Every structure is written in structure tokens, then in C-alpha cells.
Amino acid sequence: MLCSPSAPSSWQKSTFSPEASSCLYVASAPDGTLRLRESDEPEAVLRITPDTLRALIRAVKTGEFAFAPAET
């Protein structure tokens, strides 16, 4: 779910994001959900529950998604 980019004020950059590249930021909100945004489009903020994020990360790690190489 997309929500207001001004929701949380303490965004943290993912440690997996390179220094000068697209960065993923995460913040916790007062309602217990997490907010995710990318540095390229900071106005697009995703609201997600911690359980849903854990399930997504687990699915990616176990290969449930097929990723095609990016075309250059």
C-alpha cells in the first residue's frame, strides 16, 4: 500500500544499498508497520507489516521468484 512520504521521520538506509546507487530506506511507523522507499522515487512509500516483509524476504531467499537478467 502506498502512503504519504512524510509518515516516519527517521529513515534508515539499508546496509545492502551501495553508496552512490539506488538506495532502499526503511522506517518504523507508530502503528507498528514499516515504511519502505527507494532513493530514486522517495515520494513512493510502501507500507508493509513486519510479518509480510519477513515472508517476502524468505520467498526471495528460497527462490520463489524467477528473476530475469536486466537487458542492457
Residue with cell 532502499: 24
What pLDDT, on a 0 to 100 scale, did the predictor assign at position 72? Answer: 64
Instruction: Look at 66 and 60; give whichever has higher pLDDT.
Output: 60
When pLDDT is averaged across residues 11-32 and rounded to a whole number, the result is: 82
When pLDDT is averaged across residues 41-63 and rounded to a whole number, the result is: 91
Closest CA to 42 of 72, 1, 14, 4: 4
Closest CA to 59 of 68, 67, 47, 71: 67
Question: Alpha helices of the chain — where are they, by DSSP H?
Answer: 50-61
Q: What single DSSP character describes residue 22?
A: -
Instruction: Look at 66 and 25; give whichever has higher pLDDT.
Output: 25
18 SS3 class: coil
